[in-house]
Amino acid sequence: MNQAHLYSLYAGGALHVGWAMFHVFFPRIFKWREALSSLDLVNRGIYQILNLCLTFYFVAAAYLSLVFGPELLTSALGRKLITIMGAFWLLRLGLQFRFFRATHPVSLLLSLLFALTAGTYFYPLMQGVH
């Protein structure tokens, strides 16, 4: 097993910890108490539930990457999970350009971080882990 591949997964795990922390603070950052108050109960709940589910996914992806990195690299199921994690971030990158102005500095920074996170998972795959 290539150490660089393992370190790449560890970097992805660390980035997922960061994404989880970012999402924990979404209600405060985006002032959800005020911003979502005009929505009905169902739509307000959808925002909060989706955010909590994403946070859970980020924690789970971080855990798998940081604790089971070698297994992810050396098993067929692990490589599929790595592919799914990378694909998630490629999808998120594409959606960034679909729904937000790509020229805004914050959007550009987030796009870079989405691409970086995807890259930490695709790097071992592109290098041909078996």
pLDDT in tens, 73-90: 999 999 999 999 999 999
pTM of the full predicted structure? 0.93
Cα(6)–Cα(88) distance, rounded to whole angstroms?
19
Q: At what angle do helices 76-99 and 105-126 cross, to 10 degrees?
A: 160
User: Is the separation of the CB atoms in 79 and 72 below 8 Å?
Assistant: yes
In this prediction, residue 101 carries a pLDDT of: 81
Domain ranges of the chain: 3-125
Q: How confident is the model at residue 130 (pLDDT cuts 50, 70, 90)?
A: low
pLDDT tens-digit map of 79-128: 999 999 999 999 999 999 999 887 889 999 999 999 999 999 999 999 87
The sign of the dihedral angle between the CA atoms of 129, 77, 86, 56 is negative
Phi-psi region of 31 (alpha: psi -120 to 50; beta: other; left: phi over 0): left
In this prediction, residue 129 carries a pLDDT of: 65
